[in-house]
Structure 1
Amino acid sequence: MKKIIWLFLISGMAATAQKNLTIQEATSGQYQIFAPKSLVSPHWRPDTHTITYLDETYAKLIQRSEASQWAESTLITKYELAAALKAKFPEDTFALRIFPYDYIWKNKSTLILNAEGAKGNYMVVFDADKKAVVSAVAIAQDAANQVLSPNGTSAAWLKENNIVITNNGKDINVTNDTDKGIVNGSDYTHRQEFGIDKGMWWSPNSDKLLYYRKDESMVANFPLVQWGERIATDKEIKYPMAGMKSEEVTLVLYDIATGKSLTLKTEGPKEQFLTTVTWSPDGKQIYVGVLNREQNHLKLNKYDAVTGNLIKTLFEEKAATYVEPLHGLTFVPGHADQFLYRTEKEGYEQFYLYTTDGKLVKKLGYKDVVVTELLNFDTNAKNVFYIGTANNGLDRQLYRAELSSGKTTQVTTTSGTHEDEVSSDGTLSLDNFANTTTVNDVIIINLKSNKATTLFKAENPYTGKTVLPKMELVTLTSADGKTPLNGRIIYPAKFDAAKKYPVMVYVYGGPHAQLVTNKWLGGASLFDYYMAQQGYVVFTLDSRGSDARGRDFEHVVHRNLGVNEMADQMKGVDFLKSKTFVDQNKIGVYGWSFGGFMTTSLMLDHADTFKVGVAGGPVCDWKYYEVMYGERYMDTPQENPEGYEKTSVIKKAQKLQGRLLVIHGAQDNVVVQQNSMEFIEACIKAGKQVDYFLYPTHEHNVRGKDRAHLNQKIADYFDTYLKK
């Protein structure tokens, strides 16, 4: 029997003179007018017991210290920063809109930040105590992907597909490729899979720059029609579809002093993936994870930074499904011969301590905890702190692991979501805590005494403005009868158990996404609550295949995307049908991207259950998706023709019975529009009516003011075809 494990009411507000959310409020209010009070961009000053963050107007950098009993004071204003920049660059003008949000502390006294002047952009090292610019590098206003050198005197940046280094006021053209199919230094390498978020890495000594060189000249072009011209034009992008030719990537090392470049001898097939790129602390070696195109065999290699030669393969990782490296190595401070490697090879993504010779020193994993964020080490690197899962993936907790013994302690214990920043000495933690009944409690925890000092408790931002419907977190059992699944149900406004209500199932279900969490609003968007206010039961289930539950939970999707996920979603439908207040003849489903694929699949494979669906940006046949993601989960169409055939919604178009609205962005460079166009054509040939809507200027997501238009369209579609 399915069992509801715990129930939380979002609010006990009275309904007097309070209104339902508008579509605009449901779209952006969660991050604006209804955003809970929080600290903006909080950081500990290194080697201190002082935290800094931006004030509510983003005009000041505020500090609180233990010595002042955590009282607020202003450290720097945007005006003081502008004046210091003006003193350094008198020929420019600085009218800073806000204090830079993305500041970081370099050491106890100095900040690294970006600033924009009237004539150029600047990468700045700033002394917070003296309120003076220590050093700054001026770069072009159209510079992209800029990276400041560790010594703060040089910056590498991209000018279209080439790399420029600004050093001592002069620009050095590192690359000069005229063929746009050769892309240097871009973070959009391997389509940003494998945790890739940068394409250039300075050496620790600031004397060399390592960068990706991506040759995609041989990759097929995909057309994106631009509608803004009198006669529409074609913008072509490189899109390596599953089973077709992919990009060829190498790693190149540029020496600042000599102006010479060399390519790391990564060797192997040209279409392999280069990941987990990390410099050794002394700058003499470079570590690279070399992953085959099949994505089931990883080699962690060490290369000589002078010759580019392979020194040694430290270890290898293989899997019957796939290996997915997502993080660079983390060297242990003060121990240049040891690093942390993060992998799910034994079931859960956890840390392993290795020597630079490839010897495993210790596994630092703890129970079934999945590491979600590495924080930092304490003084002398005795312990490492991280955020990890608990409560079947619903919670996020702070953990401390002792490197010498491997002993792990769960530092925070209150069930919910903890977001922490630990001081550099490891004795204090800034803890932001929320759960389904707690908006946001901001606390300083003394990690030695366990004494907590509350900075503030955020008030319910909806009080007096609107009544949010009741919400429950529920636990169901997966289709294999073995695995607990997390679900969320939001009840209609003014819920009456004696009535019957239509249902909107909001679905994703795929890798790297978790929709149900033990935090404020249960992880739901405000649009879900809007639909509940309009009289719908809104239900979401994180099926097998979704995030934060471990390797086996996710890898069940391999070669058959959507199959086990749908089986689990139907267990959610069984749960809904067991409720007397659910109208079993009025169940609809909505999802975007992988959720759009799931929506369409459910509408076809379970046409007798789902009467209405809205599928946004849907993958309709995985052969139209890109190599890096698609082949990881499905292998190639040549290797897995049965899997591609079985999961293609294009092949099943004749099964459509209900009302289906397909939405796509005409500029979608992630799930290209060919997916939905082929599906629409299949529906036409099958004599099936289907609705289609295009956002001409949007990519994979509809953003900005048009988002409210999208949400209104979704709500109207359910109102028209399901509610009435």
Structure 2
Amino acid sequence: MKYAKKSILFFLLAALPALAQQKITLEEIWGGAFRAKGMDELSAMKNTNQYTVLNANWNAGTAAIDLYDFATLNKVGTLIESKNFSELKQGIDSYTFSKDEKKILIATNSNPIFRHSFTADFFVFDTATKKLTPLTDNKVQEPTFSPDGKKVAYVYDNNIYVNDLAEGIVRPVTKDGKKNAIINGVCDWVYEEEFSFVRAYEWNATGDKIAYIRFDETEVPEFTMEVYEGSLYPQPNTFKYPKAGEKNSLVSLHIYDVKTNTDKEIKLGNYSDFYIPRIKWTNDAQTLSVQVINRHQNNLDLIFVDANNGTAKVVLNETDKAYVDITDNLTFLDDNSFIWTSEKDGFNHIYLYNKAGKLVNQITKGKWEVTAYYGYDKKTKSVFFQSTENGSINRDVYRIGTNGKNKVRLTAQTGTNDATFSPDYTYFINTYSSAAQPTTYTLNGSKDGKQVKEIVNNNALKDKLAKYNLPAKEFTTITTEKGHNLNAWFIKPADFDPKKKYPVLMYQYSGPGSQQVANQWNTTNDYWYYMLAQQGYIVACVDGRGTGFKGADFKKVTYKELGKYEVEDQIDAAKVIGKYAYVDPARIGIWGWSFGGFMSSNCILKGADVFSMAIAVAPVTNWRFYDSIYTERYMQTPQENAGGYDMNSPINFAKNLKGKYLLIHGSADDNVHVQNTMLMIEALVQANKQFDWAIYPDKNHGIYGGKTRLQLYTKMTNFIKENL
């Protein structure tokens, strides 16, 4: 009898570690329990071998811009602390330096407009006198210093102004700005969203000219969203939104002469229905570079404009059978020769051209992609870049000569490496992570990449997660029956038993050039997947054709057919997964957000015999409802390609629904309008199909704020547990 008691006690003690294993909760995920430490607003100085970091104390509501030395990593000073200025009681949201780095433009009390744009109260801080001066009495957009730091240009109510800081005089550059009609110096909605920039004006090097883009959106159709909170009657929010095939803003390029207070419109050439996605002054103060691309986005001209006489000359032309991606990597050398990135050989690589636009050299070559361009060191004639040479799911930092020789890999650890270089390119701060290693920040030398010193690590987070006994994210490739090799990852339960049959939830995004199968540290969603794995699910992710970093052909195969090959690949991958001995093929689900919601909707309709469950958050349900720049880049217009639009719209296949389907949208989504979900709902109703849906009032494309994400992921978790 005593022996039996000891045996029972021994058994209980042996079982304690498993019983005591911590389970991830949604409250932890969305409460920030697994948030990694970082370096906020890290900015390398230009004139000294130093960098700044915005260090915020969120509990105390204070923030400081601290200065550090690149060579030692020691903090050498604090430029400004918000607690010392009543004007900054809301903290510091962002900051930019003057060219001489003696003044700082500080944003506080910011109000978002769309995804990137915002208005804020801006102040000019003099680092020598420690004086903080309001830029203007109004909330404004996109202020920038003139090169000499004596003036600041900004946009207010769609007009550009110049504030002469010394004289205290504000002069208007434009006067015709009007809401939903004329915009000067900042982008309209679709440029901001799809060309990813807001400020559409630039000072030249001598500060005597300002080039800007003017948007006439008078004839662009309007979209209206109802705002429910804050008044007895819902209030309309109306803005210009060009859907596929509809009229875009008419854009024009202008150069304002600061000295003479005169404005000149630049005639770029014989273009019609075109975009100006980038403007940038060259090293010649009177020569402006302009990128002009046609509406189909398959013909791009790089144009040099003489600011004195307004003449325009095409120096480089790029064409593609599908589309040309816009580059932010244009870099001018001292003699106005320039560095450019292009996919013209089938992979994204770096090229050197002379000032006349003649090719000097292709700097990088190979069946791999340059994924970031960091800069050019004229002392050593070296270019620094990030690439996928070590595998499409990894990123490494490299140095190479402009002659294409002496390439050196500067990062040693396999995973995702990203760099912030010191002004003289002697050092770089490497941000590294992998699926197994939380983010670390280290100081490295740019000659050989050797680590000098660790700056920040997340060992405490790694130790904390050890208590949860999380499984490893397993990377692999899946070969479909059609012979396509696709990158994939799997998260299995920690106590995985190959003799059991598990349900599988597939996650994907699948948009053109995107990547979800990447060897990097956890996103917030990853913790949700680990939580589901703890509850007995396998979670999988497959990057199908159309996704990025495997060459132009792999990415652009979806041209004119968004949703055809991508959906085929998810269905075919699910069929492969369903044949695994440990998978229950009757319990495979799929989910996604935005483009991923478009995909998951199509998958459960076109793959009705493969997927038993789907969740679609903020989905496009017909590309006719989405914006012109994004949609037409990949689909041309609905007038030209009606079949491509209609044959890949889930609305047109609602009758095929067999499984469980959850449809979610925010009513104030300015990006993918709730119209997409409403018409999907109507199609399902008329097909007499049962489904679940949820609308989040006044929430945008991100569906967040307060407890929103927690409630949303609780709903999705419950739906998965009930239906998969």
Work out whether the TM-score is over 0.5: yes
Root-mean-square deviation (Å): 2.8
CA distance in 2, matches of 1:390, 1:404: 19
* Structure 2: stretches of 5+ with no match in the other structure: 1-15, 111-119
Tell me the secondary structure at the aligned position of residue 353 of structure 1. strand
Matching residue of 1:610: 611
Classify 1:141/1:215 alpha carbon distance in 2 versus 1 (closer, same or farther; 3 Å): same
Indicate conservation of the 8 Å contact 2:94/2:108, yes or no. Answer: no
Matching residue of 1:635: 636
Indicate conservation of the 8 Å contact 2:91/2:109, yes or no. Answer: no
| Paired residue type of 1:459 | N
- The structure 1 residue matched to 2:135, chosen from 138, 144, 147, is 138
Matching residue of 1:24: 27
Deviation at 1:395, TM superposition (A): 1.0
Matching residue of 1:370: 369
CA distance in 2, matches of 1:676, 1:22: 29
Deviation at 1:208, TM superposition (A): 2.0
Deviation at 1:464, TM superposition (A): 4.2
Matching residue of 2:339: 340
Classify 1:283/1:601 alpha carbon distance in 2 versus 1 (closer, same or farther; 3 Å): same
Deviation at 1:188, TM superposition (A): 3.7
The range that moved more, 698-707 or 622-631, is: 698-707
Question: How do 1:281-680 and structure 2 match up within 5 A?
Answer: 281-310=283-312, 312-327=313-328, 329-332=330-333, 335-380=334-379, 382-448=381-447, 450-455=449-454, 457-461=457-461, 463-464=463-464, 466-467=467-468, 469-477=470-478, 479=480, 484-521=485-522, 525-680=526-681
The range that moved more, 450-459 or 616-625, is: 450-459
CA distance in 2, matches of 1:522, 1:696: 26
Deviation at 1:383, TM superposition (A): 0.8
Matching residue of 1:9: none
| Paired residue type of 1:164 | Y
Query: CA offsets per residue over residues 601-620 of structure 1, 9 Å max, x none?
Result: 00100001111111111111
| Paired residue type of 2:660 | R
The range that moved more, 550-559 or 386-395, is: 386-395
Question: How do 1:47-58 and structure 2 match up within 5 A?
Answer: 49-55=49-55, 57=57
Matching residue of 1:4: none
CA distance in 2, matches of 1:160, 1:530: 47
| Paired residue type of 1:400 | R
TM-score, normalised via structure 2 length: 0.88
Deviation at 1:178, TM superposition (A): 5.8
CA distance in 1, matches of 2:311, 2:469: 61
Indicate conservation of the 8 Å contact 1:478/1:544, yes or no. Answer: no
Classify 1:426/1:226 alpha carbon distance in 2 versus 1 (closer, same or farther; 3 Å): closer
Matching residue of 2:184: 184
Matching residue of 1:253: 255
Deviation at 1:511, TM superposition (A): 1.6
Indicate conservation of the 8 Å contact 1:600/1:615, yes or no. Answer: yes
Deviation at 1:629, TM superposition (A): 0.6
CA distance in 2, matches of 1:36, 1:545: 31
Query: CA offsets per residue over residues 18-71 of structure 1, 9 Å max, x none?
Result: 532221322352xxx32233333434444655454345747455555476xx36
| Paired residue type of 1:114 | I
| Paired residue type of 2:458 | A
Tell me the secondary structure at the aligned position of residue 631 of structure 1. helix
Tell me the secondary structure at the aligned position of residue 530 of structure 1. helix
Indicate conservation of the 8 Å contact 2:587/2:612, yes or no. Answer: yes
Indicate conservation of the 8 Å contact 2:103/2:149, yes or no. Answer: no
Classify 1:493/1:697 alpha carbon distance in 2 versus 1 (closer, same or farther; 3 Å): farther
CA distance in 2, matches of 1:464, 1:313: 57
Tell me the secondary structure at the aligned position of residue 632 of structure 2. helix
| Paired residue type of 2:239 | I
Matching residue of 1:10: none
CA distance in 1, matches of 2:683, 2:723: 22
- Where relative contact order (Cα < 8 A, 6+ residues apart) is larger, the structure is 1
Matching residue of 2:157: 160
CA distance in 1, matches of 2:26, 2:109: 37
Deviation at 1:162, TM superposition (A): 2.1
TM-score, normalised via structure 1 length: 0.88
Classify 1:641/1:43 alpha carbon distance in 2 versus 1 (closer, same or farther; 3 Å): closer
Tell me the secondary structure at the aligned position of residue 40 of structure 1. coil
Indicate conservation of the 8 Å contact 1:249/1:274, yes or no. Answer: yes
Matching residue of 1:8: none
| Paired residue type of 2:506 | V
CA distance in 1, matches of 2:232, 2:107: 38
Deviation at 1:414, TM superposition (A): 2.3
CA distance in 2, matches of 1:286, 1:646: 44
Deviation at 1:622, TM superposition (A): 1.1
| Paired residue type of 2:24 | L
Query: CA offsets per residue over residues 581-603 of structure 1, 9 Å max, x none?
Result: 22211111110110010000001
Deviation at 1:557, TM superposition (A): 0.9
Classify 1:226/1:132 alpha carbon distance in 2 versus 1 (closer, same or farther; 3 Å): closer
Classify 1:604/1:231 alpha carbon distance in 2 versus 1 (closer, same or farther; 3 Å): same
CA distance in 1, matches of 2:422, 2:273: 42
CA distance in 1, matches of 2:308, 2:434: 51
Matching residue of 1:691: 692
Matching residue of 1:713: 715
Indicate conservation of the 8 Å contact 1:285/1:303, yes or no. Answer: yes
Deviation at 1:250, TM superposition (A): 1.1
Identity %: 30
